[in-house]
Structure 1
Amino acid sequence: MELIDTHCHLDVSEFDPDRAEVLARTRAASVGALVIPGIAAASWEALLACCAAAPTEGPRLYPALGLHPFYLDGHRAADLGYLESLLAAHRLVAIGEIGLDRYVDGLDLDRQIWFFKRQLAIARAAGLPVILHVRKAHEEVLTSLRYEPVPAGGIVHAFNGSLEQGRRYLDLGFRLGFGGMLTFARSSRLRRLALELPLAAIVLETDAPDLTVASHRGERNSPEYLPEVLAALAELRELAPDTAAAQTTANACAVLRLN
């Protein structure tokens, strides 16, 4: 039973003191691969170095690069050319984390859309999927994808839209990411989504160091906790954990074209 964490920020400073130990525990927890999405141009080189330096006996680390909407004030138009140059020099599994965020006050939506659409175009030209960050903006994102399609699809990270929106993403070739919030009994709406959506639509993630599981509430999240997300999904759907693991891993491999 090998799991894939489709969204883990292992490159950030929170993991600097013990990154190697975290990776060892993650491998022991049967997590065989992590996707490491980028958030800002200033951190892309360090992210690529983190992935390249991963020990061979640990989980495989797959880089993605993108301009996260939360860090909009730091993004520059020149970053798009920089992204294309790194894409030409490195094997990326996706463009991301990109998207739209209407939850955070003060983020210029028009400027977010400008960067988002240009990164969709980069992904389309490269034949790569995208990793989407979407908060209170699913309709705007779905509209953007209609006019700026990404044939390779992608993953909607930390999906929290409606069942109908989820199905529209599936029609566009996307998978939907579920993480630590699924382990909280109070997350009734999210848990219902994880039950009602097709299992073929779901991939697992941690978003470490954020959005930790219930058993580590208030602590740093870690990719080693991914089996707890799997257990919550399997219990909800009344599946054997191995069955849920096999399908979610296959889903991740298919959309990200992982070996």
Structure 2
Amino acid sequence: MFLFDTHTHLDAPEFDEDREEIINRAVEAGVSKMINIGFNRETIPSTMKLAESYDFIYAAVGWHPVDAINMTENDLEWIASLCSHKKVVAIGEIGLDYHWDTSPKDVQQRVFRQQIGLARELGMPIAIHNRDAHEDVVRILREEKANEVGGVMHSFSGSWETAKMCLDLGFHLSFGGPITFKNARVPKEVLAQTPLDRLLIETDSPYLTPHPFRGKRNESAHVKLVAEAAAEIKGITWEEMAQITYANALERFGIV
């Protein structure tokens, strides 16, 4: 059975001591493809190195909103140049983060718009980071005609009303560890209403660790726990959920 972890950070320092072991454990758990996210000047090179080192690891490159204040025109050109690489399948993670006060909102929004424009120019899907900024994210996606490229709402945490707007814009909704939490009522309700052909699963490792490992370092092997929780919510087997989300990811990211 194939699993696809559509959002992970295998290059994070949390994995420096046992990265190879973590990758092997994911493969043993049935994870046959992963997308690693390069989101700033430090993580883009390490993401590209991983993608070039493993056949089953792909890359998304972009500029994270918390680092938006540091992005230059040269960085945007760098991202554009990397998008021609055969292993780069998306621009991301990009978006808005109103939780961490590291980049002013107007700067975040400008950088977000620039990267959507680049994605439209290159015909690349986008991976969206959205924290406490649902209204502005949807508004900017509409204004910048992001529906022309679509993409994925990474670790979706909004309401069903927000979800419907994102689905209408052609985006897939990706769910991770939080759907395994006992008190995670909203993401479970949203997942229950999301069409099966628009579902993706992820770990966001080393973050958002699913139950029963919550509080510990997350890893890509745990995407199976996400698949099991999603399957229970949808009333299907985890094998069916794995098959559906794997096929969805291949199509969404244009992986042959």
TM-score normalised by length of structure 2:
0.95
Give unpaired runs (5+ residues) of structure 1: none
Matched, 1:41 2:38: no
**CA deviation digits over 1:103-126, x for unaligned, max 9?**
223531100011001100111111
Per the alignment, residue 227 of structure 1 pairs with: 224
Cα distance between partner residues in 2 of 1:22 and 1:254: 26
Matched, 1:212 2:212: no
Contact 1:152–1:255 (Cα < 8 Å) also in 2: no
**CA deviation digits over 1:223-251, x for unaligned, max 9?**
01110001111111221112111111122
Contact 1:180–1:211 (Cα < 8 Å) also in 2: yes
Contact 1:174–1:255 (Cα < 8 Å) also in 2: no
SS of match in other structure, 1:7 = strand
Per the alignment, residue 194 of structure 1 pairs with: 191
Q: Which amino acid counterpart does residue 93 of structure 1 have in structure 2?
A: V
Cα distance between partner residues in 1 of 2:81 and 2:198: 32
Q: CA deviation at 1:146?
A: 1.4
Cα distance between partner residues in 2 of 1:62 and 1:36: 6
Per the alignment, residue 32 of structure 2 pairs with: 32
Find 1:181's aligned residue among 178, 182, 195: 178
Contact 1:121–1:148 (Cα < 8 Å) also in 2: yes
Find 1:122's aligned residue among 118, 124, 144: 118
Cα distance between partner residues in 2 of 1:36 and 1:104: 22
Q: CA deviation at 1:64?
A: 0.8
Report which stretch shifted further, 64-73 or 99-108: 99-108
Per the alignment, residue 129 of structure 2 pairs with: 133
Q: Which amino acid counterpart does residue 149 of structure 1 have in structure 2?
A: K
Residue identity over aligned pairs, in percent, reads 36
Contact 2:159–2:186 (Cα < 8 Å) also in 1: no
TM-score normalised by length of structure 1:
0.94
Q: CA deviation at 1:218?
A: 1.5
The runs of 4+ residues in structure 1 deviating greater than 6 Å are: none
Q: CA deviation at 1:90?
A: 5.2
Q: CA deviation at 1:75?
A: 2.5
Per the alignment, residue 251 of structure 1 pairs with: 248
Cα distance between partner residues in 1 of 2:5 and 2:96: 22
Q: CA deviation at 1:77?
A: 3.2
Q: Which amino acid counterpart does residue 39 of structure 1 have in structure 2?
A: F
Q: CA deviation at 1:72?
A: 2.7
Q: CA deviation at 1:199?
A: 1.8
Q: Taking structure 1 as reference, are residues 89 and 120 closer, same or farther at Cα in structure 2, changes over 3 Å only?
A: same
Per the alignment, residue 94 of structure 2 pairs with: 98
Cα distance between partner residues in 2 of 1:43 and 1:192: 34
Cα distance between partner residues in 1 of 2:241 and 2:132: 29
Per the alignment, residue 86 of structure 1 pairs with: 82
Contact 2:52–2:87 (Cα < 8 Å) also in 1: no
